Amino acid sequence: MAAMIIAGTNYAGTFPKFVFLFIGDGMAEADVRATECYFKDAQAQKGVAADTTQGLAMTKLPVRGTATTFSKNNATTDSAAAATAMSSGYKTANGSLNVDAETGRNFEPMAQFVKRYGMKVGIISSVAPNHATPAGFYAYAQKRNMYPEIAMQLTTNELDYVGGPVLIGGPEADVKARDAAVKNGYTIVEDRQGFDALRSGARRVWVRSKMSLAIDDKHEIPLADHVGKAIGLLAGPEGFFMMVEGAMIDGASHSNDGAALVHEMLEFDRAIAKAMEFYKSRPEEVLIVVTSDHECGGLSLDEEKIKAAGMSKILDGQKGSRNASAGEVFRQVEKGKMLFDEALPLMREFFGIQNINDKELTEVHEYFNKGGDARGDFSYGDNRIISLFWSRLVSARAGLIWSSLSHTDAPVPVYAVGAQAARFSGNSDNALIGRYMRDIIAESGGDAASTAVRLPQN
């Protein structure tokens, strides 16, 4: 720890050539702490001694701060306005990407900005690259749901590495964008074999692979593997900017699903650890910033419970995500298909709840009889109120108390390490984070640009 703090300040005078921005979508301080407690408890359950237990990669970064996230028209932002702020340095209204709908003004996204300095660009996310957060780093759109238009902008921008699931907006738009990308010189990779075969020299790579929630399925290409591959392909004298999003932290939070949340957080953290390996090999040339676009779910922690032994066992007892997996259970046990007494063991089995008290039993019986939805803004997957009851129950037993189905205006954490990392300490704001990054790139750009000119084009 001490050595890293020294490293963080030693290189205060140098400018980075390799800049990472990690965005945990929907991630706030409580999510980080909950995941750290889960991880340590899981290790303790496996018999790892407490004093040798590692925490998360992100919380080991020496520079810490916080950031406000309000958008131009709302105290509570959405991912589009927040991505615009971190990418362009400007605030816009919720729903817009690098466009001010009121004035018609466009804000230059990060990809176009860093390209002017001859740097390479990587855009990696666990959701489709035309989804709000990744799109905010290269696209202009009045509305975030203009998916086909955003997809076409992906193909015309010279992004050097794109990683994530297939596009959203329908298969037709996906195929059209895929064809256009091939015409524009992109190499498309759609399986692990093709991914492993990628070698340095490959340019404009677009890796498309399924990424379900980490609790449901092991990813064919985990986020950390994307980061490792992108570093291998893009690290050269020109430098790079890489945005990496742990996107479904937000989806798990909208669902108030603590079990899914900790797995998404760990998936995201492993990607940060991968960038840390690169940082350690050349600390004076790398800047890593980790932050979030907004809080989601109004999560708070029951301190006694999250610190109690066995927290991980409670969360691991849940068989799959509320978003994607629980729906199957509830289709089976819907009223009319089954009596409550037959349904109860199936629900308990899926969520891993052994004991249920009378009050809880009355409540779940009521939801079973009445049915109905509980839906926040930008909700994903299963919306049944009865599944919300169960995911909140599992969370609460593990010490995770949810109070909202939507985003909140709570500030988000900032972690940083490397050259110029000190700029990210203290109380900040998402648009300031964008501006600091752009300032740093502009100030270091002179060197990078002149080196790039001397090199033969390959």
DSSP state of 457: P
- DSSP state string for 110-172: HHHHHHTTT-EEEEEESS-TTSHHHHTTT--BSSTT-HHHHHHHHHHS--SEEEESPPSS-HH
The 8-class DSSP code of residue 106 comes to: B
Q: 102 or 377: whose CB is closer to Zn ion?
A: 377
Q: What angle do CA 456, 152, 166 make, to 5 degrees?
A: 95
Smallest gap from residue 168 Cβ to Zn ion (A): 14
Residues that bind Zn ion (CB under 5 A): 250, 378
Query: 439: left (phi > 0), else alpha (psi -120 to 50), else beta?
Result: alpha
CB of 152 to Zn ion, least distance (A): 25
To Zn ion, the closest distance from the beta carbon of 110 in angstroms equals 21
> 357: buried, middle or exposed (CB in 10 Å: 19+, 13-18, 0-12)?
exposed
For Zn ion, which is the closer residue by CB, 16 or 298? 298
Residue ranges of E strands in 293-366 = 295-296, 300-301
Nearer to Zn ion, 215 or 441 (CB): 215
Give me the least distance between CB of 248 and Zn ion, in Å please: 10
Find the shortest distance in angstroms from Cβ 251 to Zn ion: 7
Look-up: residue for tokens 């890489």?
A: 242
Q: Which of 340/378 has CB closer to Zn ion?
A: 378
Nearer Cβ to Zn ion, position 250 or 382? 250
Q: How far is the CB of 39 from Zn ion (least distance, A)?
A: 24
Closest of 369, 289, 261 to residue 19, by C-alpha: 289
Task: Output the smallest distance, CB 429 to Zn ion, in A.
Answer: 19
22 three-class SS: strand
Task: Identify which of residues 241 and 380 has a Cβ nearer to Zn ion in the complex.
Answer: 380
Q: Which is nearer to Zn ion, 255 or 387 (CB)?
A: 255
- The span from the CA of 31 to the CA of 17, in Å, is 31
Q: Residue 88 and residue 138: Cα distance in Å, rounded?
A: 10
